[in-house]
A = this chain, B = another copy of it.
């Protein structure tokens, strides 16, 4: 039987370092519109919910085709955790899986989003995190992690690291609820899958510099520049 999958897009209005980033325009569209369009276009989930404390934002996302889940005010503070607001959301919505699509990932492409759903459908994970894989000489706790100081090898041969990027996350509702109610952390809970996304589809949006980078990348994708060379 097909899994019932719903999407949750978390979107506080009270972001701190970049104020109101979810409704700020990036390349002509408010940030929140990117994940909504991505999810609706792909038609892979039965419902697309925006999880926000703000009534006005809740109404506005309706125009883009998303549903409004009103987050209780106490879960909208800086100290409220992903764990808590996802639990509150899952209490109200029946499903087999919830996919959290982060609005701070406007660079995510449709084919990557679709592959994520396919990965979810074809496997039996309790949790899936999106990761970016890197093969770079890496230090950890002041020591070489995946390379030796004694030799320099081609970076393509290095053992990779994978960092969680929070662009796409999937949780099996059952497992999440059970772990949360048992006082365990469900965020990385149960049988954990990792889904690789291309590094140019992951971004942070913590600072103004991050914002400009993401906007620059979006613009660069659309531009078809002619390739020119210095005449030698």
Chain B residues, Cβ within 8 Å of A163: 134, 136-139, 161
CA distance A179 to B141 in the complex (A): 26
CA distance A37 to B46 in the complex (A): 55
Are B145 and A161 in contact (CB-based, < 8 A)? yes
Chain B residues, Cβ within 8 Å of A230: 23-25, 30, 32, 60
Give A20 Cβ to nearest chain B Cβ, in Å.
6
Give A30 Cβ to nearest chain B Cβ, in Å.
4
Give A40 Cβ to nearest chain B Cβ, in Å.
17
Q: Does A150 contact B (CB under 8 A)?
A: yes
Q: Does A219 contact B (CB under 8 A)?
A: yes
CA distance A136 to B167 in the complex (A): 13
Binds B, one of A67-75, A170-178, A221-229: A221-229
Chain A interface size, under 10 / 10 to 19 / 20 to 34 / 35 or more? 35 or more
Binds B, one of A97-105, A117-125, A181-189: A181-189
| Known A152-B83, A212-B221; contact A229-B187, beta-carbon cutoff 8 A | no
Residue numbers of A with Cβ under 8 A of B are: 20, 23-25, 30, 32, 54, 56-57, 59-60, 81-83, 131, 134, 136-141, 144-146, 149-152, 159, 161-165, 184-185, 187-189, 192, 194, 198, 200, 209-210, 212-213, 215-221, 223, 225, 227-230, 232
| Known A24-B229, A136-B163, A136-B165; contact A217-B217, beta-carbon cutoff 8 A | yes
CA distance A203 to B210 in the complex (A): 14
CA distance A212 to B163 in the complex (A): 23
Are B131 and A140 in contact (CB-based, < 8 A)? no
Give A217 Cβ to nearest chain B Cβ, in Å.
5
Give the residue of B140, B152, B212 whose beta carbon is less than 8 angstroms from that of A82: B152
Q: Which residue of B lies closest to A209 (CB)?
A: B200
Give the residue of B81, B140, B152, B220 whose beta carbon is less than 8 angstroms from that of A159: B140
CA distance A134 to B185 in the complex (A): 24
Chain B residues, Cβ within 8 Å of A210: 200
| Known A60-B232, A225-B215; contact A137-B164, beta-carbon cutoff 8 A | yes
Are A162 and B185 in contact (CB-based, < 8 A)? no
Q: Which residue of B lies closest to A140 (CB)?
A: B161
